[in-house]
Amino acid sequence: MIALLLLLAQFYCPMHPDQQSDVPAACGICAMRMVKMPPARFDTYPVDLRVTSTTGGVRLRLAVRDPRTRATVRRFTLVHERPLHLFLVGDGLEFFAHEHPLQQPDGVFMIDVALAKPGPYMAIAEFLPEGGTPQTFQQMFTTGEAFTSPPVLPIDTAAKTVDGTRVSIDASQVKAGESRPLVVRIDDASSGAAVTDLQPYLGAAAHLLVVPVDLTEAVHGHPDEQFREPGITFTPLLPRAGRYKAWVQFQRAGRVSTASFVFDVR
């Protein structure tokens, strides 16, 4: 179905491929500016991830390879203001980072990241090669400690107070295999009034990353602009029932804040 849509339209949203247009336009779901359709080629671009331990963390090098020539890909379409988004999750799902490695002259992306402690981590990268289709890469690595069983996390949907805001979540409508609303409310912690002065963060009002506790998948999403009330609404498509952890990121007064929650999906 997505392939047919790509063939008929001239522009589309990399985050929501079913949103397309014959002329440059904004996505009807996340309001991201649509990009030009690539040729009808749906290759998977392999990524060579190299991890080197540093004092207090790791240096990550990510080389995206052309699936046909194996040459390092150097040209990428900006998606939400960056050529590559990198998420790191680990330490029993207590550690979370959303980073943007810098592309080096040889085309490889590189970044140094401080880690909470040695152990297994998951790297999740998203990017759009010029002329290609949106790609998601996911790979485990360890800084010395052995891989262990998935953590047993208790459900945690209590409101969080972060940087002067009270963040609450309603995941009661989320259902496996369907794009259902997941609503986040952000209120002022002092007055209780709804926050109305959020600033765009990487081209969106907020960002959401959701992973199952076994880290077998990862879903990155942005607010669905079709929903205006009662809060910021995401519509993540989660693949299966089970327990998930979610991180919500938003920006206010120049500061990026993160709140996390744990919930079950039926």
Q: Which domains occur in the chain, in start order?
A: 2-36 (no CATH), 47-142 (2.60.40.10), 160-265 (2.60.40.2480)
Backbone angles phi, psi at 2, to 5 degrees: -65, -40
Decide which of 31 and 45 is more confident. 45
Report pLDDT for 202.
93
Lowest average pLDDT, out of 19-23, 117-121, 223-227, goes to: 223-227
| Predicted TM-score (pTM) of this structure | 0.84
Q: How far apart are CA 206 and CA 80, in angstroms?
A: 11
Residue 196 class from Cβ within 10 Å (0-12 exposed, 13-18 middle, 19+ buried)?
Answer: exposed
Average pLDDT for 83-102: 96
With a CB cutoff of 8 Å and minimum separation 6, the contacts of 51 are 58, 59, 60, 61, 141, 143
With a CB cutoff of 8 Å and minimum separation 6, the contacts of 245 are 93, 153, 210, 211, 213, 260, 261, 262
Listed in sequence order, the DSSP H helices in the chain are 2-8
Q: Shortest CA distance to 21 belongs to which of 30, 34, 38?
A: 34
Confidence class for position 6, pLDDT limits 50, 70, 90: very low
Q: Is the pLDDT of residue 187 over 90?
A: yes
